[in-house]
Amino acid sequence: MSDTEGAVQENQLLTTARTRPVFGTFVIEFFSPGLPTLLKQAGADWVLFDLEHSGFGLDSARAPIAVARQAGITAVVRVPGPQQHLVSTALDAGADAIMVPWVESAADAERIASWIKYPPVGVRGSAFGIAGDQYVGGPAEAAQRAADARTFFLPQIETPNAVEEVDAIAALPGVDVPFVGPLDLSTNLGVPGDFTAPAVERALERVLEACAAHSKVPGIFAPTVSLARRWSDMGFRMVSLAADTALLRWAFADGLEAIRKG
């Protein structure tokens, strides 16, 4: 894909992320239709439905994706792996963005990015008047360009190979948010869960440098509030505050502690 072919209007969330961090969370357990609205009311900018580690399939995500679109919160789907049919069906279900795990190279990222945009930019198959365009339909060319403007791609940076390739990955016009999976990255660097290890810190700096060089939005999953603050202060702009399971546990534990102290 050339720079000219990739020149579509940027998604509003990405534009916002250039001026301030945008925060969301991963949904791993509670695929409830009402959850996106609750997160929006709490101040979230985006929500990710995780089909890699949750054990859920796309059917479970279709209703909350639809509600997210109505509520005005960006809906991201993490597909289980780099297969075109997993990407295309999530987009046709209404996902605003696609996250793909274990992207190892610029060649991997370029191939996956092509599945997200319509020709001539990419190779996405056309279907309109369905959930993906909120059943609007209309002239194909206008619908395709609107979808290209709305959708974006988050390749995950989780391995030493991906870190080595991150500058080339970030340089691709079809890549929008190089997104760090810190647990897998630290594990694959030989320091599982040690997010302040020098090797991890160097890898995070390389991601930030690559994103700055190519005007891309750096993203990361933060398992704790302190890490979300630390990494957003470092320069990460699309940050997940943990996942739904942790948020429920934290809130309930805090409430019980306050009651018992009272």
Question: Which sequence positions are flagged as catalytic?
Answer: 53
Q: Extract the tokens encoding 117.
A: 């945009």
End-to-end CA, the chain? 61
Cβ-in-10-Å burial (0-12, 13-18, 19+) of 249 comes to: exposed
Query: Do the bridges between strand 179-180 and strand 219-222 make them parallel or antiparallel, or are there none, so unpaired?
Result: parallel
CA distance 145 to 149: 6
What separation in angstroms does the CA of 209 have from each of 29, 46, 170, 190, 196? Answer: 34, 24, 10, 23, 18
